[in-house]
Structure 1
């Protein structure tokens, strides 16, 4: 059935349950793209026209119910000989599963469930629908705790059809009402009786009546009172026990008159003032027909089952006390007594002969019973060999299962039970896991792709591996490739899906190019998988000719996509207006004959406070200092002797122009010995010196003479 589409609309996904009347599958409504539950009638009912007619009529009537506590019926249809109902799909468990796992349930939880069931029954009864099969198996509990009652249509169709055909009672005998067990008409109060049994089981973990056969359980519903639930679970409040005892009364008149009345009682039973109310009592009528002992005839193969009231038997036979009188009136005449005795003797002999013949035939015909071997987990071949050796037959049904193909996953009858020779043991054999088609997740975001694989195909997160690589076309975290490919068969239980996703474009750290030569910068760009962009030149006071002044558009250490173009601005040398001058700066120790360390600092168009030179001398000396002046930047030469400023010489752009035109340039006044320290300025120079003024003048005169000589030579 898996993969079948019913009505061209409902796709069967997997089997999720089943009962005596139908099998239940999880499906997908392709038109509305929602999950549904599809209930299909078993094959033994497909040829029962009366059953089908009732089933369809009652299912369609149940489809008219619209209530939050009733499973909605969406559709009723037929596909070939398959009759199905499409219902609301509920994520959760049946109440039967919850009872098996956790019973007895907490009082508050049991009351919460029972009140919702009452609400659902009230709605159904108001619409003229009696459930007739209220039991934990037909009550679904959603993950949010909401109760959903199901199987309204099937319950009525099954009960009505079976009673009509066989005169016996079919259903869940542990939850039968007495009138249901007797095969008489059932009504709203029968549903409330069954709900009382369900509450009893929720709060005690036990059923009120047990027996060796369904008939014996049905008789107990008719004849016996259930044990007080508080004797089994003292935690049940008296108010709640009263509700259960009232719901399971034998007489319908003593039960709740409606589901609403029971629901209203449930809504208040846990209030503090009610929890310890007096135990409920009922008037007992020992002569009531429902309380009389019932006679059950022995059951033989192919015999219909009926339940008789012993008073009916007495009426048919004339009743006790009338037997003797009737016998005396019908006694045969004395002359016929001999014939009667003869006939009796003959009949006895015939009966004995028949009994002997039957015993003999049974000895020959009765088939021996043999134990059923355990073949679970065996291969099909090995299971067949075991069953053949045990003188048993087999039937094979292949089903999808995580077990490897050819392994027996279930058997019926089970191992250890006895079966007659040649009985066919039903084997469920794995045909391997159900395969699904791989979907496409290429070009999807990684998180979305994982969600689709987990939810759509049933994979687990650890079955999905992801690796990343750079991509020029796709943004980060986009799936580029997948394995398996779209449409390939995939086993959700063991598949390994590999995804390759984008890391985005590859990036590198931008190298520092400023200060490098043009050739070095271009080489660095090439090595870094970048492209050389525009290269321009411009003059610079501070950067030597041929070296990089600026890089763009990325600064050093920026993340740069591979292949980006990088532009350069390269120094073309000094600007045309730059003034290069050589200034002679005297260095005169403050103490003659004693060593002093002089440090020369320069601030000009090339930068500020550059350490130009350091000299250690013990006698007067001088150094030539190269400076560059600009129209807006003077040159300042600072001389420090043992970290103390001893002279400051300034050259302006006008000095440069004067030098260019041949005008005399100012010269610094040499330091003088002795006397006070003085500050002199000449031609834009500043001189801080110590010593005599005459010595300084003499030196100046000598310098002037030297200049005149040089001038004459030039002429």
Structure 2
């Protein structure tokens, strides 16, 4: 187990534990150079002393880096530190296909086909690189937040599956998807991957695996003895062409399966097409050969083993149904007797893998027990407990009690396997850093470097007149407060800058109305006045900026108000001016002048006469 906070190769900072499996532990880490989250898979401790496994792991892991495909989890790096082998991979935020099926079943036909098309496209690329996955199962297929499917575990599946089912916990855990030839102990081929894909398709359709049993051995037997149940028994509405894809991929004989992933992809891509409606049920070609009947053996023949040859069914025999029925019953009986005899021989010679497998035990949960109590419980299961323990912080487990084991609880292991205990040092406490006035990204980096989980950081945005947009206004908890790094939710209030408003039209508003509006929005009024014959005195004539302009608190707005009509000269002043300009002592005539400035008073005239 890798300690949280450790930096692998000085580059990959471990942030948390994603999960544990039979072969490796997976951690969430941050790539400090490329500033991105990654998944780091570390080969489990009990495999790290096997030099052969390490060489294969490194060789095949490097080969996996060649698989560049949108539906394959990318392998970024391969490394070793202090004898610890690890892979750095793309971090997929989402869930695995097993959980996805449980949460969304029953899936629509279209969604089922879409998922399989993505998986098959990825497997096709792998097979073209001569890479066989060998451990295909929904748990090794991830579904991200955009519903994109990505296959993982190529490197470890290839590197470690070269041993038989009795030698790897991974294969025991994957027995539900094991091909018949693998169950017999034969080498895996491309058709083995195709068989596993057929079982995955079955699970996508029905929501469950076709074979269950009390043990891995009983399930493996069903894979090469029993036919896969019809998916239409569970979902009668499934089109026959879609069921045919399942039947074709899960044929008992590898020669009856699809030749390649491309062929299966081509078939499933058109299985919902209307022109394929009415397609007959798929039958393996090996089942279409002429039927042979093994005659029944007498009790004496059974005792001696029986050496009577098989008899081919003749046309005449086909015309005798009652006799044939009796022969079929006897034939079935003989077949089962032969199978039992063969299994007995195999068990005796030690070649039947299931019966000769070392006893396996499942690691029990010892969480929250003291070290002594945990040791006693594990030893009762026939397991050994390492004298060396690991120390980890925990907010949930009391100090000095067991937090977890390596391998993890529920993992099947060989009897006598060594288990490492992880002992709690209590809750991990850190002092809350002061991140006010930092940019949001700077604040997040500061917090994660102090040990706070990135997933526990919440962002709240708020307008601010004093803090620059994008910077932190407030933080909760406050700085320098001691907090539990793994559990505390940190809330950062981030500035959106000053609030802007769309300036309304001020036309015809009074100054008092304008001032009230400006007080509400925090705007500053700059008033100006001018005469107007059309706008009432005191009302707005114009504004700058114009209506619908985005303004913020503190902006100055120029508003022009009407002073009313421009003042006119009075009648008396006009008359006097006119008289002075038109009267002289030598005037002997009489004239009447209408003053232009008093055009509105047409009867206003000045009369001048000479002396009497």
Q: Secondary structure at the match of 1:652?
A: helix
Q: Please report how far the alpha carbon of residue 270 of structure 1 lies from its aligned counterpart in structure 2 after TM superposition.
A: 1.0
Cα pair distance change 1:652/1:400, threshold 3 Å: farther
Q: Within 2, Cα distance between the matches of 1:2 and 1:120?
A: 33
Is residue 434–residue 479 contact of structure 2 (8 Å, CA) maintained in 1?
yes
Q: Within 2, Cα distance between the matches of 1:251 and 1:166?
A: 25
Cα pair distance change 1:88/1:162, threshold 3 Å: same
Q: Within 1, Cα distance between the matches of 2:227 and 2:66?
A: 37
Q: Within 2, Cα distance between the matches of 1:496 and 1:406?
A: 28
> Partner residue of 1:442?
437
> Partner residue of 1:196?
198
> Partner residue of 2:4?
2
Q: Please report how far the alpha carbon of residue 144 of structure 1 lies from its aligned counterpart in structure 2 after TM superposition.
A: 2.7
Q: Within 1, Cα distance between the matches of 2:472 and 2:244?
A: 67
Aligned match for 1:178, one of 171, 180, 184: 180
> Partner residue of 2:242?
240
> Partner residue of 2:43?
41
Q: Secondary structure at the match of 2:56?
A: helix
1:307 aligns with 2:352: yes
Q: Within 2, Cα distance between the matches of 1:99 and 1:50?
A: 37
Cα pair distance change 1:481/1:143, threshold 3 Å: closer
Which region of structure 1 is more displaced relative to structure 2, 190-199 or 405-414? 405-414
Is residue 456–residue 488 contact of structure 2 (8 Å, CA) maintained in 1?
yes
Q: Within 2, Cα distance between the matches of 1:400 and 1:232?
A: 48
Cα pair distance change 1:467/1:431, threshold 3 Å: farther
Q: Within 1, Cα distance between the matches of 2:425 and 2:463?
A: 35
> Partner residue of 2:109?
107
Q: Within 2, Cα distance between the matches of 1:138 and 1:51?
A: 20
> Partner residue of 1:495?
490
Cα pair distance change 1:165/1:49, threshold 3 Å: farther
Q: Secondary structure at the match of 2:232?
A: helix
Q: Secondary structure at the match of 1:37?
A: strand
1:652 aligns with 2:577: yes
For structure 2, the residue ranges without an aligned partner over 5 or more in a row are 295-309, 311-334, 356-363, 380-384, 411-417, 500-523, 525-543, 546-550, 557-565, 586-591
1:636 aligns with 2:571: yes
Q: Within 1, Cα distance between the matches of 2:377 and 2:92?
A: 45
Deviations 1:433-467 (A, max 9, x none): 686974746265x8998999999944565x75858
For structure 1, the residue ranges without an aligned partner over 5 or more in a row are 311-371, 416-422, 505-529, 531-553, 565-605, 609-633, 639-648, 665-678, 702-715
Cα pair distance change 1:232/1:424, threshold 3 Å: same
Q: Within 2, Cα distance between the matches of 1:297 and 1:47?
A: 36
> Partner residue of 1:314?
none
Q: Please report how far the alpha carbon of residue 10 of structure 1 lies from its aligned counterpart in structure 2 after TM superposition.
A: 2.0
Alignment of 1:555-594 (within 5 A): none
Cα pair distance change 1:177/1:212, threshold 3 Å: same
Aligned match for 2:343, one of 272, 279, 295: 295
> Partner residue of 2:87?
85
> Partner residue of 2:331?
none
> Partner residue of 1:527?
none
Cα pair distance change 1:497/1:407, threshold 3 Å: farther
Deviations 1:524-556 (A, max 9, x none): xxxxxx9xxxxxxxxxxxxxxxxxxxxxxx99x
Greater RCO structure (CA 8 Å; 6+ sep): 2
Aligned match for 1:432, one of 422, 427, 448: 427
Q: Please report how far the alpha carbon of residue 481 of structure 1 lies from its aligned counterpart in structure 2 after TM superposition.
A: 5.6
Is residue 230–residue 241 contact of structure 1 (8 Å, CA) maintained in 2?
yes
Aligned match for 2:223, one of 204, 221, 224: 221
Cα pair distance change 1:17/1:247, threshold 3 Å: same
Is residue 136–residue 196 contact of structure 2 (8 Å, CA) maintained in 1?
yes
Is residue 38–residue 84 contact of structure 1 (8 Å, CA) maintained in 2?
yes
Q: Secondary structure at the match of 1:3?
A: coil
Is residue 444–residue 454 contact of structure 2 (8 Å, CA) maintained in 1?
no
> Partner residue of 1:74?
76
Alignment of 1:620-631 (within 5 A): none
Q: Within 2, Cα distance between the matches of 1:680 and 1:243?
A: 114
Q: Within 2, Cα distance between the matches of 1:425 and 1:184?
A: 34
Cα pair distance change 1:255/1:386, threshold 3 Å: same
Q: Please report how far the alpha carbon of residue 83 of structure 1 lies from its aligned counterpart in structure 2 after TM superposition.
A: 0.7
Q: Please report how far the alpha carbon of residue 81 of structure 1 lies from its aligned counterpart in structure 2 after TM superposition.
A: 2.2
Q: Please report how far the alpha carbon of residue 496 of structure 1 lies from its aligned counterpart in structure 2 after TM superposition.
A: 4.6
Cα pair distance change 1:28/1:107, threshold 3 Å: same
Q: Within 1, Cα distance between the matches of 2:169 and 2:19?
A: 29
Q: Within 1, Cα distance between the matches of 2:104 and 2:191?
A: 28
Q: Secondary structure at the match of 2:161?
A: helix
Q: Please report how far the alpha carbon of residue 164 of structure 1 lies from its aligned counterpart in structure 2 after TM superposition.
A: 10
Is residue 410–residue 428 contact of structure 1 (8 Å, CA) maintained in 2?
yes
Q: Within 2, Cα distance between the matches of 1:212 and 1:49?
A: 35
> Partner residue of 1:152?
154
Q: Within 1, Cα distance between the matches of 2:572 and 2:106?
A: 101
Deviations 1:142-169 (A, max 9, x none): 3333221111121121111467979996
Alignment of 1:505-544 (within 5 A): none
Deviations 1:260-309 (A, max 9, x none): 1111111111111223311122344788999955627999xxx9985179
Deviations 1:380-432 (A, max 9, x none): 6xx559969x98999987656665875989778999xxxxxxx9997885943
Is residue 407–residue 429 contact of structure 1 (8 Å, CA) maintained in 2?
yes
Q: Within 2, Cα distance between the matches of 1:392 and 1:185?
A: 35
Alignment of 1:206-217 (within 5 A): 206-217=208-219
Deviations 1:635-662 (A, max 9, x none): 5339xxxxxxxxxx62339969x9xxxx
Cα pair distance change 1:9/1:212, threshold 3 Å: same
Deviations 1:562-602 (A, max 9, x none): 9x9xxxxxxxxxxxxxxxxxxxxxxxxxxxxxxxxxxxxxx
Is residue 371–residue 402 contact of structure 2 (8 Å, CA) maintained in 1?
no
Cα pair distance change 1:169/1:108, threshold 3 Å: closer
Q: Secondary structure at the match of 2:274?
A: coil
Q: Within 1, Cα distance between the matches of 2:373 and 2:552?
A: 75
Q: Within 1, Cα distance between the matches of 2:253 and 2:578?
A: 126
RMSD: 5.7
Cα pair distance change 1:105/1:407, threshold 3 Å: farther
Q: Work out the number of aligned pairs and report it.
A: 472
Q: Within 1, Cα distance between the matches of 2:114 and 2:455?
A: 33
Q: Please report how far the alpha carbon of residue 20 of structure 1 lies from its aligned counterpart in structure 2 after TM superposition.
A: 0.8
